[in-house]
């Protein structure tokens, strides 16, 4: 038999094994709310102004965890009761400054903050970049993947003017140190705009 010529079961199974390995290696998931639209164009901070519901709308079937807009704006405030905030009001307070209020249903402000572009947040492609962090996975107990990852979190408005949050994680590496994998997971959350 000539070298390099496959015969028998291996020749028949090789394409199936390759297809299965490729399917397991390259995976992705994108979860979006019903009637989701892409990010809108934000050319100035006043494009972000409005009153938004604090509880985000997720993809059908995704109820937990609850995404609060206030938790994205004030992520380190452990004492803040995000569930008590009904709406978040965003107003431009200067050329590069936003004034943000978390307000109860009765109109009482619970939390307020002033955020300055360049100091407290960065704008890129019309979106507020909350996190853009590359790293190496696999150095914690229980991590099944050894490889590289990039985590990104962005906040802006969608094409209809609603608040829009996107969380994206991309990982490439080895699962359990032998199976190559490349995964991209993206979730979009919408925060209904109830007043300009």
pLDDT (tens digit per residue) in 62-87: 777 889 999 999 998 889 999 999 99
User: What mean pLDDT comes out for the span 140-158?
Assistant: 89
**pLDDT value at position 81?**
96
Give the start-to-end residue ranges of the domains of the chain: 24-195
Summarize the confidence of residues 164-182 as an average pLDDT.
88
**What's the pTM value of the predicted model, to 2 decimals?**
0.80
pLDDT of residue 51: 98
The whole-number pLDDT of residue 181 equals 83
Q: Rounded to whole angstroms, how far apart are CA atoms 104 and 97?
A: 23
61-65, 133-137, 189-193: range with highest mean pLDDT: 189-193
Secondary structure letter of residue 85 according to DSSP:
-
How many other CB atoms sit within 10 Å of the CB of residue 170? 16
Q: Are 112 and 97 in contact (CB under 8 A)?
A: no
By three-state DSSP, how is residue 48 classified? helix
**Tens digit of pLDDT for each residue in 23-75?**
555 567 778 888 899 999 999 999 999 999 999 999 888 777 889 999 999 99
Q: Which distant-in-sequence residues (6+ apart) come within 8 Å of 17 by Cβ?
A: none
In the block, tokens 């032998």 appear at 178
Per-residue pLDDT, 7: 55
Instruction: Decide if pLDDT at 188 tops 90.
Output: yes
> Looking at the predicted structure, is the pLDDT value of residue 10 above 60?
no
pLDDT score of 196: 93
CA angle 97-56-119, nearest 5°? 20
Average pLDDT, the chain: 87
Contact 80, 44 (CB under 8 A): no
Res 12 pLDDT > 60 = no
Confidence at residue 114, expressed as pLDDT on a 0 to 100 scale: 97
The band of 1, judged by pLDDT with boundaries at 50, 70 and 90, is very low
């Amino acid at each position: 038999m000539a070298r390099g010529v496959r015969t028998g079961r291996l020749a028949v199974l090789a394409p199936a094994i390759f297809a299965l390995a490729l399917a397991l290696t390259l995976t992705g998931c994108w979860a979006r709310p019903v009637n989701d639209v892409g990010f809108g164009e934000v050319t100035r901070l006043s494009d972000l102004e409005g009153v938004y519901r604090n509880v985000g709308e997720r993809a059908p079937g995704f109820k937990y965890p609850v995404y609060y807009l206030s938790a994205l704006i004030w992520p380190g405030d452990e004492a803040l009761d995000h569930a008590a905030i009904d709406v978040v009001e965003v107003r431009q307070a200067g050329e590069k400054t936003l004034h943000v209020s978390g307000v109860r249903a009765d109109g009482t402000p619970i939390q307020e903050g002033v955020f300055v572009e360049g100091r407290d947040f960065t704008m890129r492609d019309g979106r507020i970049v909350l996190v853009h962090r590359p790293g190496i996975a696999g150095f914690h107990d229980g991590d099944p993947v050894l490889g590289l990852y990039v985590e990104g979190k962005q906040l802006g408005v969608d094409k209809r003017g609603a608040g829009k949050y996107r969380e994206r994680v991309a990982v490439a590496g080895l699962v359990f140190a032998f199976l190559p994998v490349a995964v991209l997971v993206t979730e979009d959350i919408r925060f209904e705009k109830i007043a300009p």
